[in-house]
Amino acid sequence: MENRGQKRMEVVEEPPADKRACNLQDSFRPSTSAGGSSVQAQANGSGDADMDTSSSASPSSRTSDGEPDREVEEEDSDYGSCDDDDSDDAADPRRRVLQQYQRGRSSGDLVKLKSLMSRLSEENDPSLQLTGLTELCEVLSFCTEDSLSGVMADVLSRVLVKLAKDESSGDIMLLAIRAITYLCDVYPRSVAFLVKHETVPALCQRLFTIEYLDVAEQCLQALEKISRDQPVACLNAGAIMAVLSFIDFFSTSIQRVAVSTVVNICRKLPSELPSSVMDAVPVLCNLLQYEDRQLVESVAICLTKIADQVSQSPAMLDQLCSHGLIHQSAHLLNLNSRTTLSQPVYNGVIGLLRKLSSGSTLAFRTLYELNIGYRLKEIISTYDISHSVSSTQTINPCSNQVHEVLKLVIELLPASPEEGNSLALEKESFLVDQPNLLQQFGADMLPVMIQVIKSGASVYVSYGCLSAIHKLTCLSKSGDLVELLSNANISSVLAGILSRKDHHVVVVALQIAEVLLEKSRDAFLNSFIKEGVFFAIAALLNHDRGQQKPVSGFVQGSVPKEIVKCLCQSFEGSVSSSSQTCKIGNDSVHILATRIKERFFGPEVFDSQKGLTDVLQNLKNLSVELNDLMTVPINARVLHGEKFISIWNQIMERMNGRESVSTFEFTESGVVKALANYLSNGLYERKLGKGDLECDSLPLVGNRFEVFTRLLWSDGEATSSVLIQKLQNSLSSLESYPVVLNQFLKQRNTFAAVPSRRCINYPVLRVRFAKAEGETCLRDYSQDFVTVDPLCSFGAVEQYMLSKVHLEPLNSVKAKNQAIECQSSQLQSTSISCQGESSSHMEIDSPNTSQLEGSQEEKDQDRLTDSGEEKSSSSDGEDVRPRLLFRLEGLELDPSLTVYQAILLHKLKSSNETTNDSKLSGHHTITYERAPQLAESHENLFPLGSMDNDEYHPFLSYLFAHRLGLRHKGTSPPTYAILFLLKSLEGMNRFLFHLICHERINAFGEGRLESLDDLRVQVRPVPYAEFVSSKLTEKLEQQLRDSFAVSTCGLPSWFNDLMDSCPFLFSFEVKSKYFRLAAFGSQQQVHHQPQHLSGSNGHGEGRSVSGSLPRKKFLACREKILESAAKMMELHGTQKVAIEVEYSEEVGTGLGPTLEFYTLVSRAFQNPDLGMWRCDRCSLAGKPMEGPGSLVPPSGLFPRPWSTTSATFPGVLQKFVLLGTVVAKALQDGRVLDIPFSKTFYKLILGQELSSLDIHFVDPELCKTLVELQALARRRKVISESQSDVRAAKCDLSFRGTKIEDLCLEFSLPGYRDYVLAPQFANDMVNLDNLEEYVKAVVNATVCNGIQKQVEAFRSGFNKVFPIEHLKIFNEEELETLLCGERDLFNMNEVLDHIKFDHGYTSSSPPVENLLGILHEFDKELQQAFLQFVTGCPRLPPGGLASLNPKLTIVRKHGSDSSEADLPSVMTCANYLKLPPYSSKEKMKEKLIYAITEGQGSFHLS
C-alpha cells in the first residue's frame, strides 16, 4: 500500500491477446492510478472519524490535504530549494544542463503532439488512426505538463472523445480512452475540456454496454482520474452506476479503481441526492462482504458520505438500512472478521451506525436485535483506554474509537421524547415493548463502562460513560435497574466522581444518584451511605455556592471537524452553533444536591454521628486506640506488641467479617493514618538526617514492622493480600493526579530574550521579573515584560539573572563555574530530559491537584536527601545550590522544573479550573529574591556498604532512604499515608525472608524456639502484580503517549515523584517505556497502536528499539570474543550509536550476528578462569559447568571475594568494568544478553544494601549455616545480658549437639583460604566468645568489602554509557527481564498468534503442525538452541514471542528434488525460518536438531 505523497503507480491487468493492440506501450506508463491507492492512503492517514478523503496528487503541483506540500517544505528547509538562489545553477552545471535538456525535450514533444493532433483530426483511415493513437500514447507517457497548452488540450480532448465513440474498432476505442487517461495525468487542467466535450457520458456508455473487457477497464481508469476534479459532472452523467453495474466481472485491482471513482464522487454529493446514488446502495452493501481490505474500506467511505447527506431524512435512512447495511457494518465490527479494517475506517463504521440509528427507527431496532451491545463491549474491553486521549499528531487514528463507541451507545439510549418528536417516541415505544433487549444491552455495556471510569480514563471519556449510564438508568424499570446494578458497585463509582472538581461529571453523577433513589430508594440508600455518596453530597453543599466553574476549552480526543467548546456538548449527535455556551449553570451542583437532600434524606442521615455505619464507627474507635498506643512508653516493648496485636486482630476481624468494609469506610475511619503513624513511630511524615534524635527509635520501628510482618503472613499471604487490595482501592478513590496533555498549535518563529537571546520555533512566555519586597541585596532588573524560552530550566534563568541583579559582579572564575554547574545540576534533576524543541499550550485532565501542594520547606528538604546516593555538582565538594528564589503570586516555583512546567503547575495549584491556553499565553510577573543559606546538607541516613548497623538496616534503608516526596502530603494526608503503607507492604514483601528470619533468630535467642531446625523459613511473597495500580498505570500510559510533553519536560511532578519513590505502583511495561525515555530521550520512543487493529506487538519493547539511532558496523573475531568486546566498547561504547556486528571471514551481518555476538560475550564472561565469580561451592551443588568454560551456578553468578593485595585483582576489576559497559550498551541498543546473574547481584546493580540473609540467594547452604551460628551468638548475648544462671543452664549453646570449639573452625573465609578475613583473629579458632565477630567477618567478606571494588568497577563501566540510576525503578526480577529477556520461551497456546506463515505454508499446513509439535516436545535447552538458530539469541525479548521484531516467519523451502535431504535454513536478521516439507514428523525432528546443533557458530548465505 502506498503512502500519501508518493507517486501513483498503475496496476493494469494484461488484456486478452486478441484485443490488446498496443501492449508494448503499457510498459512505458509508470504513473497511472492503482485504483484507490490514493483513497486508501488518505483513509489510513486521516484522523477524522467520518473518514473524509481526497485523492492523491498528480505529477503536477496538485496535492491532497496539503501533506505532500509539507514534505516538500521540509525537504527544502533541510537541503535548500533549487529556486532560492541563482548561484545554485552555477554551482551545479549538471542541473543547468538537465534543465536545458528538459526544455528542449518539451519543445520536441510539443511539435510531435501538434503533428499527431493534426493527423488524427484529418485522418479517416482506421489503420492510420490506430498508428497515430499508438504514437500519441507513447508521447503522452513521457512528456511533461510544459509540453501542452490549454488550447492544445481543448482540441486534443475533442479529437480523442470522437475517437472513443467510434464503435467500429475496439482497438481505436481502447487507445483513445488510454490517451484520455494519460492526458489527465500529464495535464490535469485538461479534465475540464474533457467534460466539456462530453467525455464522461461516452465512457459511461461503454461501461453500460460492455463489448470488450479491456476497453471497459480503460474506461474505469479514465473515469477515476476525471472524477477527482469533476465529481459533480460524473455524478450527473450516471458514473456511479456505470462503474458498479458489472463490477463483479473485473479483477480486484480494477474493482478498486471503480470504487475509488465512487469515493471521489461521494466527496461532493449535493444536498438532494439523485436517484442514481440510492440505486447504487445495494451494490455497495454487497461489496462490504468482500475480503479485499482496500475495497471494503473504500466502500465504507462511500456509504458514510451517503449517510451524511441523507441524515435528516428518516425515509431515506430507512431505505439505506433496508439493503442490509446494518448487518454488514455490524459484521465488520467483529474483532474476528475476515476483513480487518484500518482504525480510521473502523471508527468511521461505528460513526456510520450512530448516524443511522439517530435518524432511523429501523436501524435503531435492527441494532438492538443484532445484540450490538455485545460487540461494543468487546471493542472497549479489548481496547487500551489510554489511547482515548489526544495526541500531538494532527492525524491520530487511535484517538476517536472510544469517542465513537460512546456516542453510539448514547444514541442507542434515547432521552425522554419531546412533544411532537415522533422518532423519539417510536424508539422509546420499541424499548418499552422489548424490555429484554434493553436489559441485555445494559448487562453488556454497564460493567465495561464502569471499569473504564475506574481505570483512570480522562474526564472526557468519563463524562461519556456517565452520560450513557444516566440514560440507561432513566430508561430501565426499577426491578431491572436493581438487577443490573447488583454487582456493579455503582455507589463507590459515584462517590469517587462526586469528589472530582469538574462541574460536568459531578452534575451527571448527581443526576444518576437522583434517578436511582427515585426508582428504588430502599435498594440504594444503605449502599450510598456505606460508600460515602451522601457524605460527598454533604461536602458539595458545604462549599460556597457556585464556586465551581464549568470547564471550557477542554475536550480531548475529539474529532477535528467537530470542535466542541464545552464538555456537555461533546457527545451530542450534531454540534450546533450555540455549542460554545455551557448548558450547566454555576448553581447546578448546589441546586441538584439540595434537591436530593430534601427529597430523599431526613436530618438523621446528615447528622455527623447518626449517619455513620456501625462498621465505620467501630473502625474509628480502633484507630483511636491505635493512636493512643503511641502514648505508651517506648521501653514497654512487650506491652506495645500485645496491644498492637490485639487491635490489629480486631481490625482484620472487621475487615473479614460478614459485613464488608467499603473503601469509604476504610479511608474515613483513620485506620490508614493511625497504622502508618504507629509502625513508623511518627517518622513517616518527617525527613530524617544522620544524627537526628528520631534516628534512635529506628530499631524500634524495625521491630514493629517485624511483628506486623509476622501477623500479616501468619496465615500465608491471604491477610496481606486483603490489606493491599483495600489500600489500592483507597488510592484509586482518593488520588487525582493530573494528566497534562497538549493541544496542537502550529509552529511559529519567536524570539526568546531569556536566557540566551535566540530564535525558537514555538511560542514564548512573557514574564516580568520584579524584585521581591524587602529584598535589599539585589538590584532591580526591569519593569518591562521580556520574552522567555518556556523550555529552559530555572537554573538557566538564574544564571542569566545573577549577572543582572547581583550587587557583586560575578568576576571570579569560581563564582562563574558555580553558576554554570548549578544550571547543570538543575537540568539533571529532571528525570526525563528535554529532547525536542516544539511547544504548545496544554490541557489538564483531573484538575484536582491537592497532592501536588506542600510547603516549600518540605520541598527544599526533599531535594536535600532525594535518594541513597547524593550527587554533587561541584568538583571541590562544596554545596552549590540556587542563589535566587523565584515566586509567582507568592508561591515559590520549583527550580528543578522548566519555566513552562513551573507556571503550569502553579496554575493548577492556585485554581480549581483546568488550565487553558489563555492562562499560559498571558503575562506573568515573577519575583526574585536571595535564596536563604540552608543548613548543612543532611547526610544519607543509610550509606551503601555499611554493615555495622542493626539487623533491620537493609529494610529500613529501602523504606526511608527513598522517601516519598513530602509534596504529596500537602493538604491530603490520607493519600500520603496510603502511599507510605503500600510502600511499607511492598518492602515487607520484598524483604519477607529477611524479616521472618530475624524474627526467628530473635525468638531462638530469647528461648522461644528450642531447635535450630525451627529457624527454617518457608514463606510465599505476595505476587508483585498486586502492588500495581491499574489506574495510575493507565494515567502514566496516557502521559507517555504525549510525546510533546515527554520531549519538552512538560510532565507533571507526580510523574517523576512516584516513579522515584513508589515504582512498584506501575507495571513493568510502562516502566520500561519510562526508562527508555528517561535514559535515552525521545530518540528511541516507541509509537504504539492497539494490538487488535495493527500487526505490531503491544509491548513496544522488541529488539529494534535502536532503529532511530545512527548505526556503526564492527568486525569481530569469534576466537577472541572478549578482546573484540573490549575494542568495540572502546570505540563505540560511549556513543549513542547502534552497533551492528559482522564476523571476519563470514558473510552475515545485521541483527542476527549482533545478537549472537552479545550471546557469545555473555558466555565468555561466564568462564571460571576469569576469576570473576564464585564457583567453588557451586561445584558441590551438582552441575556447575555447561559447555566448554561456561559457568552456570544454580543461584546465578555472584562476584567472588578478592583481597585488594592480590596480583590478579586489577585484571578482575578491568573485566568488571568491561562487563558493566557491555550490559549498559546492550540495554541502550535493545539487545538481549544470556548471562544468569544472581538475584543478589541485581540488588547490587540497583544500589541496594545487602545483609547476611542475602547470601541465601547466592549460596543457600552457607546462609543456612551462618543463620544458625548467628542464632547461637544471639542466644549467648541474651544470656549474658540477663545474667541469669538458671536461664543459662536451660539454654543449649551447642551447634547441633557439638560445641562451637569442637567444630575446629578457623578464622578464614569458607572456600577462599587466601582471603584475609580478620587480621586480629588470624591465628584464632572460632569459639562462643568470637562467634559473632566471625559471622560478621564472613558476611562482610561475602557481600560487602570482599566484593565492593568489583561492584564499583561494574557500575563505573555502566555509567560510561548512561547513568545506572535510571535502573532503580525496577526490582530484581524486572531488571533480569529487561536485560536477559523472558524466562519462558514458548507459550504453545499463543504461538500461532505471533508466528507468520508465508510462501506455501499456512497455520494448518502439516509441516507447520509438525514443527509446533516438535517445539512443544523440546526441553528448555533445545528450545533455546532453536531460538538461537533462528534469531541469533537464545532468549526472547521482554514481552516474549509477541515482542519479537521482526516477527518470526516460517516459509516453505524449495530446494532439491528430494526435500528429505535438505536442512532447514534461516535468515536471522529477519527471524526467517526456511523449512522443507518433510514427509514425517520424525524426519523433521531429526533434521531440525541436526541443523540447530551443527549449524551454529557461523553466518553464511542460505
Q: Given the C-alpha cell 471499569, which residue does it identify?
A: 451
Q: CA 370 to CA 866: how far, in whole Å?
A: 58
CA–CA separation, 368 and 411 (whole Å)? 12
> Nearest 5 degrees, angle CA 375-CA 381-CA 383?
100
Integer Cα distance of 339 and 332 in angstroms: 7
Question: For 535, phi and psi rounded to 5 degrees?
Answer: -70, -35
Counting beta carbons within 10 angstroms of the beta carbon of residue 174, is it exposed (0 to 12), middle (13 to 18) or buried (19 or more)?
buried
- Burial class of residue 1456 in the structure, from the number of CB atoms within 10 Å of its CB (0-12 exposed, 13-18 middle, 19+ buried): exposed
Q: What's the alpha-carbon Rg for the chain, to the nearest Å?
A: 38
User: Residue 1114 gets which letter from DSSP?
Assistant: E
> How far apart are the C-alpha atoms of 1357 and 1351, rounded to whole Å?
10
**C-alpha distances in Å from residue 766, one per residue of 347, 827, 1356:** 41, 22, 44
> How many other β-carbons are positioned within 10 Å of the β-carbon of residue 837?
13
Spatial contact of 1143 and 1499, defined as CB atoms under 8 Å apart:
yes
For residue 401 the three cell numbers come to: 474509537
Cα 480–chain centre separation: 39
SS3 18: coil
User: Rounded to whole angstroms, how far apart are CA atoms 1215 and 1209?
Assistant: 10
Residue 270: partners with Cβ closer than 8 Å, 6 or more residues away: 232, 235, 309
List the beta strands (DSSP E) in 964-1089. Answer: none
CA–CA distance, 1038 with 388 (Å, rounded to integer): 8
CA distance 49 to 402: 11
Query: Using H for helix, E for strand and C for coil, what is the string for 881-939?
Result: CCCEEEEECCEECCCCCEHHHHHHHHHHHHCCCCCCHHHHHCEEEEEEEECCCCCCCCC
> Of all helices (H) and strands (E), which one includes residue 740?
strand 739-742
Cβ(34)–Cβ(10) below 8 Å: yes
Whole-angstrom distance, CA of residue 1107 vs CA of residue 1432: 18
Q: Report the C-alpha gap between 82 and 95 in whole angstroms.
A: 9
Decide if 1469 is catalytic: yes
The answer to whether 935 touches 916, Cβ cutoff 8 Å, is no
Classify residue 1480 by its DSSP letter. Answer: S
**Which residues are paired to 887 by β-bridges?**
892, 927
The DSSP H or E segment spanning 1322 is: none
- Cell reading at 330: 455490524
Q: Look up residue 596 and give its amino acid.
A: I
Q: How far apart are CA 1021 and CA 1024, in angstroms?
A: 8
Residue 17: other Cβ atoms inside 10 A: 7
Cell of 174: 481502447
d(CA 1301, CA 1297) in angstroms, rounded, equals 12
Amino acid, res. 948: D
Alpha-carbon gap, residue 411 to 427, rounded angstroms: 11
- Strand 1448-1452, strand 1395-1398: pairing: parallel
List the catalytic residue out of 204, 219, 1175, 1469. 1469
- Separation CA 1348–CA 1337 (nearest Å): 14
The kind and range of the H/E element at 826 are: helix 813-828
Q: Which residues are catalytic?
A: 1469
